[in-house]
A and B are shown apart, each in its own frame.
Chain A
Amino acid sequence: KAGVTQTPRYLIKTRGQQVTLSCSPISGHRSVSWYQQTPGQGLQFLFEYFSETQRNKGNFPGRFSGRQFSNSRSEMNVSTLELGDSALYLCASSRGTGDGTEAFFGQGTRLTVV
């Protein structure tokens, strides 16, 4: 079956702009999580959606937001981009049924803010 698909793979934006990233989970998976990876901070949890509801949220400013649609596809949005938002953004999907559930990651979207 198809894996987790993230689009676009690469993106270059200018400071102050906004950006929307997309993630299509594995068919049947209802949980989608987003992570930011930077050389300085490593892999950090952004938020998690399950059945269109945000279930968990990491410690990121309100400029970072997301949503999930009825087909489990998810988008994350970053407004008023800053240079420090340059990162690899990873999406993971899982059944979301609790402990011991494996997460499957997409290839990521590499965002560069100039």
Chain B
Amino acid sequence: SQQGEEDPQALSIQEGENATMNCSYKTSINNLQWYRQNSGRGLVHLILIRSNEREKHSGRLRVTLDTSKKSSSLLITASRAADTASYFCATGKGADKLIFGTGTRLQVFP
């Protein structure tokens, strides 16, 4: 079963625009991770945010976490065509037994 839902399920934007994806989860967590998956391929780890953190940045990525609302958001700024992929949030203890959300399919048009 999935830990949570991601919203929106699909997102289409133009290059240069920002993309925001949201993730909600059900149980209390120690940390939350975001992954990217290019079509039918493996997952690439983007960022991990711990439960005692509220915001984290990595390059063009900004992740927020609101444990009171059991939600997280991923913001990609100044998007590029190469950002086209599916994005998943995942919760779990470290890398073991990750529980993934349903994913957001992002399409960035040149």
Contact = CB atoms under 8 A, between A and B. Distances in A.
Q: Is the interface of A mostly helix, strand, loop or mixed?
A: strand
B48 A102 contact: yes
Contact of A99 (B2, B30, B35): B30
Contacts of B101: 42
Counting chain B residues whose Cβ lies within 8 A of the other chain, the interface size class is 20 to 34
Counting chain A residues whose Cβ lies within 8 A of the other chain, the interface size class is 20 to 34
Contacts of A64: none
Given A99-B31, A100-B48, A33 B41 contact: no
B42 A107 contact: yes
Contact of B42 (A58, A59, A106): A106
B99 interface: yes
Q: Is the interface of B mostly helix, strand, loop or mixed?
A: strand
Contact of B97 (A48, A98, A110): A48
Contacts, number: 83
Given A90-B43, A100-B31, A105-B42, A43 B100 contact: yes
Contacts of A92: 43, 95, 98
Interface string A39-55: 00011110010100001
A97 interface: yes
A108 interface: yes
A42 B94 contact: no
Nearest to A46: B97
B103 A98 contact: no
8 contacts: A31-B95, A42-B101, A44-B100, A96-B94, A97-B94, A101-B95, A108-B40, A108-B41
Interface of B: 1-2, 30-31, 33, 35, 40-45, 48, 50, 88, 90, 93-103
